[in-house]
Amino acid sequence: MTTLILPKQKGIIVPQRIVLPWEIYGIRQAPQPTPVDVYHAAWETARALAYDLDRYDNWGEFEHKFCDRIHTLDDAVQFANEAYATLDDPYTRFLGPKKAQQQADERQGTLTGIGVVFEAKADGDGNIVIGRVLEDGPAHNAGIKPGDALKKVGRFLVKNMPREKMIERITGEASTKVKLTIVRDGEELNFEVTRGIINIPAVRPERVGENGKVLYLKFSTFMQDDTVDEMRQALEENSDAEAIVIGVRFNPGGQVLQCLRVLSLFIEEGVLVKIRQRIPYKGFQTTVYRLTKERLVVERTVEATGQTFSQEMPRDPYLAGTKPVVVLTDKWSASASEMLAGALKDNGRATLIGKTTYGKGIGQTPQPLLDGTVAIVTSLRYFSPNGHWAGDAHKEKIGIAPHIEVDLPEGVMPGSPEDAQLNRALEVIEDQLKG
């Protein structure tokens, strides 16, 4: 997910999250808003922020459709999501207070669960395939592996179970247990996994290659607020490395700010990204982020008037220098991962190896609303420096193509000796170092 949560950090000023005035809703910010107030705020916010207004042709039908059935906050969340579901946009959704807090925890790098990432696909029997198992997480310690397929959570089959419901059954309070039935090589295996608080580092540095001369940065997310700090620390502590591999495989994306700042560490000069976003009731604005040797330049153009506004601000240091860089991508590298891959590719700063990325060239604005709820609405598209759009992650999944296509064998852990993509990266780097 790419979001526009862009706070000020360490002298870097970027556009702030859009804050909608309460006048837009026609709702007073009462100390005790009713559940119907919450629903109406969710209804109006989606239309106010939406990038693609064609999806909202029949939106007026939902303004009062559920009002006589909304009695609790849970009702408001449920029916808001029923309305959102008609938009045919899986990324626009309405979060209740609990899920909104879970997302906030994720930004701090802390999650409660078992530490797995599921693939979008099921196997031939409807079991959900596990794409990634977080190192040292509860599932990893219990013996669950990438490529395993989840058949049951407790006594419940996951076949045809809504993905959100499956996740709810798996997650829970830390130190509680969940029973899972896994299919591996045609055999059913039973696991009892103790849920835990999972602290997820955004970046895991490792020295690889001959004499450890290559710095391999396993990059799991752009969601956390300290992502760029971890990346800077890794580069500074390994400044003697001769080359760098950035792995964004299984990386679902995150905050635009973190991506821009990470790119500053690897690009001396050049355009980073172009973002076209709808501003509530004011049409579209295009923003270009560009690096000079000293500054980050932000240029905004209001499409309706042609007015252009420019802003300059401090940038993060160009730490990578001229070292060879390879980016490892896969079909689950999404959103901000694709923004990073596209910028490094178009600026001629890295060789991309792996598979074409997920195809999510859209972003969402998370808008806090009443009673701890949050509306998350698709409000923007982003384009690589050369104007390439990665797609809508739904019906148009284009992605960023690698320079060199290499498969990762099923069941192989990224970074292991059998990692064909990393091994190919080391070969390419060796050739580049030889000149």
Q: What is the pLDDT of residues 43-101, one digit of tens each?
A: 999 999 999 999 999 999 999 999 999 999 999 999 999 999 999 998 899 999 988 88
- pLDDT of amino acid 107: 65
pLDDT at residue 24 tops 80: no
Cβ neighbours of 241 (radius 10 Å): 22
- pLDDT of amino acid 10: 29
pLDDT at residue 179 tops 90: yes
pLDDT-derived band at 345 (thresholds 50, 70, 90) equals very high
The whole-number average pLDDT for the span 249-267 is 92
Does the global pTM surpass 0.85?
Answer: no
- Separation between Cα atoms, residue 335 and residue 362, nearest integer Å: 7
Given a contact cutoff of 8 angstroms between Cβ atoms, the answer to whether 264 and 318 are in contact is: yes
Q: What CATH code is assigned to 111-199?
A: 2.30.42.10
- pLDDT of amino acid 171: 83
**Any idea which of 62-71, 128-137, 340-349, 383-392 has the lowest mean pLDDT?**
128-137
Selection from 401, 406, 409 nearest residue 424 by Cα: 406
- pLDDT of amino acid 102: 76
* Domain assignments of the chain as residue spans, ordered by start: 1-109+201-435, 111-199
pLDDT at residue 33 tops 90: no
Half-sphere exposure of 237 (CA within 13 A, CB side): 12
CATH fold for the domain made of 1-109+201-435:
2-enoyl-CoA Hydratase; Chain A, domain 1 (3.90.226)
The whole-number average pLDDT for the span 282-305 is 95
CA 221 to chain centre: 7
Q: Strand pairing partners for 187?
A: 184
List pLDDT tens digits, range 351-407: 999 999 999 999 998 899 988 999 999 999 999 999 999 999 888 999 999 999 999
**Any idea which of 56-70, 151-165, 179-193, 358-372 has the lowest mean pLDDT?**
151-165
Residue positions counted in the chain: 435
The whole-number average pLDDT for the span 277-291 is 91
- pLDDT of amino acid 312: 95
